[in-house]
Amino acid sequence: MHIVGRGAGGSQGAGKADREHQESRLDQPTRSKAGASKPPGSPGDHKTRNRQAGPRMLGTNLLDNRDWSAWLPRLKTTFLHLFVIYASVPFLIRLFPVLLTKCVFLNMFKIPFFVDLSRPELLLNHTVNVYLTTEPEVTIGVWHSVPASRGIEAQGKDHSWYEEALGDDNPVILYLHGNGATRAANHRVNLIKVMSAIGFHVLAVDYRGYGDSSGSPSEGGFTTDILYLYDWVKARSGKSRVFLWGHSLGTGIATNVARKLLEDRGTQVDGLILESPYTNIRDAAANIPVTKIYRQFPGFDYLVLDTLALADLFFQSDENVKVLTSPILILHAEDDPIIPSHLGRKLFEIAISAYQDKNKVRFVAFPDKLGLAHDYISFHPDLPTVVKDFLKNIT
């Protein structure tokens, strides 16, 4: 708020009076000491000065106009190019669906950079790296962290000790991360630490095409990778419970794997923990921030959303939960800017309406004032309690 003081007002008033007085005085012929008036056009005459100043001001304005006229075509050309790029993107996606897979997976971003994924001990204690060949020419990298309670015992142990440790009756989490980056991303490392601290074995995997894993990413390929990892763990874990923890993109992979196990083998996963989930990839794509500039674009559904099916991308968690029987815990931050929390709540409502035992499905919302957004639920101090309560209810 601007406050004008009385002094300032007085100065302005005085200035105006002075200007009026000066203009009045300048409008009158100036008298010499002898009482004679100066001839018009003399150096002191204001009309002469105005005529002299006029051409200079006019020249300056003409120069400014010439500068603007020179820039205007360039600006028009720039805006035209931007519009052509903007308008061409949906058509390019429709013509080349592979472009859409790149946008969905973002596996080309090997973040964080300069991390040796074969040496997890640089970021995590009591953790070992494993490479598993899920099918010919496809090898995936996996970090295995044992429960923190066995941390001292794990020091100096080799891979065979870690494999044997899986059968110690502690529960196991297969952590399926979201798109982009690697298993070494900060929020993923933090989740491993938190879950290890409360007594879980955690196996964090980079799917094919991610991190140091070979192969090319695809929805079917992800399912193959996690099914292999699941079988590998079950062959070593004995009676230990095995849970699938999916985050973001990984939630769709988790429900795909759980449904595949149930329908093909009659095997029920011990539990699903879905962090920042979506109903299906089409709904997710329609709600992510990057598509906001295209939502009103004519033909957006046909050019972009329908193209997901042409790229063999579905991730239909909403359909998967209708046939699952495994306990499900859904975690979602209300301020999630990537996957809106209403998608997680909608998935919960679909699941609970399909489950006969309503107690098997739980939804936990983290208020937006906490600032957990899309990636940082694992930093909330109450998360261990939430997970432990979930385990107690399904025992």
By annotation, the residues acting in catalysis are 248, 336, 374
For tokens 């991390």, what's the residue?
115
Rounded to 10 degrees, the C-alpha dihedral 203/204/210/211 comes to -100
The Cα 193–Cα 168 span in angstroms is: 19
Q: Are strands 201-206 and 172-176 parallel, antiparallel or unpaired?
A: parallel
Both tokens assigned to 162: 């870690």
DSSP 266-332: -PPPSEEEEES--S-HHHHHHHSGGGGGGTTSTTHIIIIITHHHHTT----HHHHTTT--S-EEEEE
3-state secondary structure of 99: helix
The Cα 395–Cα 393 span in angstroms is: 6
Backbone phi, psi, residue 142, to 5°: -135, 135
Instruction: Find out whether 329 and 362 touch, Cβ atoms under 8 Å.
Output: yes
Instruction: Find out whether 144 and 128 touch, Cβ atoms under 8 Å.
Output: yes
For the chain, how far is it from start to end, CA to CA, in angstroms?
63
- Cα distances (angstroms) measured from residue 108 to each of 93, 207, 375: 18, 12, 19
3-state secondary structure of 200: coil
Name the region of 211 (left: φ>0; alpha: ψ -120 to 50; beta: rest).
Answer: left
H helix count then E strand count, the chain: 14, 8
- Cα distances (angstroms) measured from residue 130 to each of 133, 205, 235: 10, 9, 16
Instruction: Find out whether 192 and 143 touch, Cβ atoms under 8 Å.
Output: yes
